Chain A
Amino acid sequence: QQQVKQSPQSLIVQKGGISIINCAYENTAFDYFPWYQQFPGKGPALLIAIRPDVSEKKEGRFTISFNKSAKQFSLHIMDSQPGDSATYFCAASSRTGNQFYFGTGTSLTVIP
């Protein structure tokens, strides 16, 4: 059973556009929600993370929106650039658990 559901599987965006990737979870014990970025041939790397005490976190062009009641969170990439083309994974974990649960990934392509 997929603990974290991610959509879409792939996304094509024009340069300068907004990329939006969505994730949903069921386990209310989750209290840490990171996003990872993976370039081809490399391991994933932390992009941005949020804890449920805030509804939004912004770092540069990247924003996480968090909706605790809906158990959903999303990544918004503003002014998308070709260099943002990568696979993005959402994840969730809890302070009482030992694991991170990853979504299935979104392949983002930003067209020049």
Chain B
Amino acid sequence: NAGVTQTPKFRILKIGQSMTLQCTQDMNHNYMYWYRQDPGMGLKLIYYSVGAGITDKGEVPNGYNVSRSTTEDFPLRLELAAPSQTSVYFCASSSGSMNTIYFGEGSWLTVV
């Protein structure tokens, strides 16, 4: 019953550092998403993928990159971390745009 698993849970980065948030799902979902959540701002879509090898930008893609080499994995890369990237990041998956989205537990990232 793993569902969507994302790591790490918590991370502190220094300005200019880079890191990768890992995400894997075991439900064989084609659709995967990365959201960031900031207080009072709801969930903002960073990137999404509708299948292996296919990725597309969401609402707030600047400063991030993704890849989707397998159905299961959808890592999010932060390049040159900035304080504005301090946020909670959620990976999610779905079998389609008319179906339930399953979220991971979240990754708390602080850039100092």
Q: Which residues from chain A sit less than 8 Å from chain B, CB to CB?
A: 6, 9, 31-32, 34, 36, 41-46, 49, 89, 93-95, 97-100, 102-105
Closest to A6 in B: B42
Q: How far is the CB of A14 from chain B (nearest CB, A)?
A: 24
Chain A proximity of B21: nearest CB distance (Å) = 13
Assess the A105–B100 pair: CB atoms within 8 A.
no
Question: Once the chains bind, are B106 and A41 in contact (CB under 8 Å)?
Answer: yes
Interface residues of B in 49-101 (CB under 8 A from A): 50, 56, 58, 90, 92, 94, 97-98, 100-101
Contact across chains for A44 and B43 when beta carbons are under 8 A apart: yes
Q: How far is the CA of A71 from the CA of B49 in the complex (A)?
A: 28
**A42-B105, A43-B92, A104-B41 in contact; A99/B98 too (CB < 8 A)?**
no
For B99, give the chain A residue with the smallest CB separation: A32
If A98-B56, A99-B58, A104-B41 touch, whether A43 touches B105 (CB-CB below 8 Å) is yes
Bound Cα distance from A58 to B107, whole angstroms: 33
Query: Among B58, B92, B98, which residue has its beta carbon within 8 angstroms of that of A95?
Result: B98
Which secondary structure dominates where chain A touches chain B?
Answer: loop
Q: Is the CB of B100 within 8 A of A99?
A: no
Q: Which residues of A contact B50 (CB under 8 A)?
A: 98
B77–chain A nearest beta-carbon distance, Å: 21
In the A-B complex, the 4 residue pairs with the smallest Cβ-Cβ separation, listed nearest first, are: A43-B103, A104-B42, A102-B43, A32-B98
7 contacts between A and B (CB under 8 A): A6-B42, A36-B101, A43-B92, A44-B43, A44-B101, A89-B43, A98-B31
Shortest CB distance A11–B (Å): 14
Asked if A42 contacts B43 (CB within 8 A), the reply is no
